[in-house]
Amino acid sequence: MSVEPEYIGIEDSFTFTCHPGVTCFNQCCRDVNQFLYPYDILRLKNHLGMSSTEFLDTYTVTYSGDTTGLPIVSFKTSGVDGNACPFVTDQGCGVYDNRPASCRIFPLARAISRSRQTGAITEHFALIKDPVCSGFDEGRSIRVRDWVISQGLDEYNRANDRMIELISLKQQIMPGPLSGEQRDKFVLACYDVDRFRSLIKNDNLVSEGDIGKGRYHQIMASDFNLLDFGLEWIAMELFGKKSR
């Protein structure tokens, strides 16, 4: 059953709590249906001490999105009903410190729009009152702005907004599905950062001469910088956008 979102302003408050004492504890994690952003993958694979390639193979499935034709990555689910997150435990989330943005923001959802005149981003929020969730029945009142901060969402949102912009660019330039080769490049640079790094280093996919020595070393030294570059590289390689 789909839940009608209730729109809510960033300064508005809602009442919610989630802890091991709620009657529905873990139910949401045993019935997941969410896609993962590139930054979610980066945080999770580092939490688990795995390469991005191992993480994608072990814990995720990839399919093509109906609307964008882009690859979408989501958890490989299991359990009694076949819908449980691979990281749910009887005690709660097994990857709590690095759980994905969609887990952090619940019971809210977030979308963004960008002004054509100024380029400024506006955030939009909605409250998702899922009937299985008893978290709304008790708890404290909290402002949307404070919820976002308390859940450590700022750095996720910064990274995820870049992905949203890449999807929007793709839809403007190339509506419809990608070719097999384009799809592979998209998955490589957005989701499989360790393989992307290896191809840059060993197969000269991108060279110091292409991007300058300083930037080259910057992206090779940090997953976050490499992902940031990967999104820019896809915008150039697939959608013809000039480098920043």
Residues that bind ligand SF4 (CB under 6 A): 18, 22, 24-29, 32, 85, 87-88, 93, 95, 99-100, 103, 106, 132-135
| Cα–Cα–Cα angle for 47, 25, 158, rounded to 5 degrees | 40
Instruction: Between 156 and 229, name the residue whose CB sits nearer to ligand SF4.
Output: 156
Q: How far apart are CA 10 and CA 155, in angstroms?
A: 17
Q: Which is nearer to ligand SF4, 22 or 211 (CB)?
A: 22
Q: Is the Cβ of residue 106 or residue 239 nearer to ligand SF4 in the bound state?
A: 106
| CB-neighbour burial class of residue 158 (10 A; exposed 0-12, middle 13-18, buried 19+) | exposed
Provide the minimum distance between the beta carbon of 32 and ligand SF4 in the complex, in angstroms, as a whole number: 5
Give me the DSSP letters along 54-72: HHHHHHEEEEE-TTT--EE
Q: Report the alpha-carbon distance of residue 234 to residue 241 in Å, rounded.
A: 9
Asked if residue 33 lies in contact with residue 130, where contact means CB atoms within 8 angstroms, the answer is no
Cβ 101 to ligand SF4 shortest distance, Å: 10
Considering the complex, what minimum distance in angstroms separates the CB of residue 92 from ligand SF4? 7
Least separation in angstroms between residue 69's CB and ligand SF4 is 26
Least separation in angstroms between CB 134 and ligand SF4? 6
Tokens of 49: 């001490």
Nearer to ligand SF4, 85 or 235 (CB): 85
Looking at the Cβ atoms of 133 and 226, the one nearer to ligand SF4 is: 133
Residue (87 or 229) nearer to ligand SF4, CB: 87
Closest distance to ligand SF4 from the beta carbon of 85 (Å): 3
Provide the residue type at 163 as one letter: M
Long-range Cβ contact pairs of 153-159 (< 8 A, separation 24 or more): 153/101, 153/104, 153/105, 155/39, 156/37, 156/39, 156/40, 156/101, 156/104, 157/101, 157/110, 157/123, 159/37, 159/38, 159/39, 159/224, 159/227, 159/228
User: Minimum Å distance from CB 43 to ligand SF4?
Assistant: 10
Nearer residue to ligand SF4 within complex by CB, 128 or 211? 128
